Each structure stands twice: as C-alpha cells, then as structure tokens.
Amino acid sequence: MAYAVKEIFYTLQGEGTHAGRASVFCRFAGCNLWNGLEKDRNLATCQFCDTDFVGTDGTLGNKYRSAEDLATTIASLWPTNDNQRRWVVVTGGEPLLQVDTNLINALHAENFEIAVETNGTIAVPKGIDWICVSPKAGAELIQRRGHELKLVFPQLLLMPDQLPEVSFEHYALQPMDGPKQAENTQKALAYCLDHPKWRLCLQQHKLLGIR
C-alpha cells in the first residue's frame, strides 16, 4: 500500500495531554469529513477545520511506496542522542483512512510509540499506543474508547452533554479557532470550572509560533 502524506516534521506537541512533548508529526493527506477545498467548506461536516491536508506538497510530503519507507523517513527526524523516548503523532485530515497494521509494525520497529489524532469515525486498529478522538457534530462516532477525548468547543450540535456514551481517561475542551476565539475560550474556561471532569486545552503551538 502507498501512503499519501501531506507533511512530516519534528516539533513540540502543542495541545492535549502530551503538550510540550517532543514529537514527530506525520500528517496524512485526505479526510472523510471535508475535501479540504475552500470552495467546498460550506458543504463540509467539519466546517471549522484549520488544517491544510490537501496534496503531498508539504515538508517531506510524498506518496510513500511502503510502510518501511515512511517509517524510515519519520525516524530520520528524531535526535540521534535519544532513541528511548520516540513519539510519533499520526494525524490529518483523517489518518485512519491510511494507517494500517504494516505501518504500525514498521513504526514500532523504529522504536516509536504511536499516537493517533482521529475524528473517531473509523475504528482504531490494534497497536496504537495513544488514542485521541476529536468528535465532530454530524459525524457518527465509532471510536468511543481511548486515552483522550478532545472536543472543539462550542459545537452547537455537539456540546459535552450531547456526546454518546464514551470512555476516556482524559476529557479536554479546545476553544474553536476563528473570529470568536476569545469568546469561545472564555466559554470553555467557564464550562471547565463548572464541570471539573473537563480540562481546558489551548493550542499552545499557535501561541508559541511553532508548528
């Protein structure tokens, strides 16, 4: 199987439970909730998406012919002075349209723990070490268990009390980006104070000016 990858880069994870952790991000091209074209945004299930996942023209973007080739490229970005804490985040778009057992095995062979950031509409394959689900209003939530549920807030048709029955170790509210971000942040902050089960999740990479 070939893998269409938008970009691969080394950075500090910017949001969620592992914020601040050194990570290789592998962003796969394509999504099942939007084609990524601005002209079609109003037709998307996820109209607030802030990510470019179209094509393979980003840093180290390519159509990788094998899982081993992709895993080797990911491993090449990790510092050579520490091979014991390797952490890769497979994201998108929707990475589970492409991530398979061969890639999971190839990344584990390179000594990586694997985190996935998914919209939850596709069941996560065995072998993923950290499951972060970010559900979207209007999309069926298939993956209802994992380590972290990260809900973009507010979504009028998917507020925290409208979620189906789920089981996660961590629950986070991420203020929706855009012209009302400040207002959304205050609303999320207030909700977390009233509902201590939820943590406020800020996009620290944007605040720090990193990828």
Residue 132: active-site member: no
Residue 110: active-site member: no
Q: Is 161 exposed, middle or buried (0-12, 13-18, 19+ CB in 10 A)?
A: exposed
Q: Which of 26, 49, 132, 201 is catalytic?
A: 49
Residue 205: active-site member: yes
Residue 51: active-site member: yes
Q: Nearest-CA neighbor of 53 among 89, 83, 93?
A: 93
Q: Which of 25, 28, 112, 153 is catalytic?
A: 25
Q: How far apart are CA 39 and CA 28, in angstroms?
A: 21
Q: Which of 48, 52, 72, 205 is catalytic?
A: 205
Centroid of chain to Cα 138 = 18
Q: Which of 31, 132, 192, 201 is catalytic?
A: 31
Residue 50: active-site member: yes
Q: Which of 11, 45, 51, 56 is catalytic?
A: 51
> Does residue 145 contact residue 165 with C-beta atoms inside 8 Å?
no
Q: Which of 46, 132, 192, 201 is catalytic?
A: 46
> Does residue 54 contact residue 36 with C-beta atoms inside 8 Å?
yes
Q: How far apart are CA 6 and CA 57, in angstroms?
A: 6
Q: Which of 7, 15, 117, 148 is catalytic?
A: 117
Beta-strand pair 3-12/62-64: antiparallel
Q: Which of 50, 57, 169, 183 is catalytic?
A: 50
Residue 161: active-site member: no
Just list the catalytic residues.
Answer: 25, 31, 46, 49-51, 117, 205
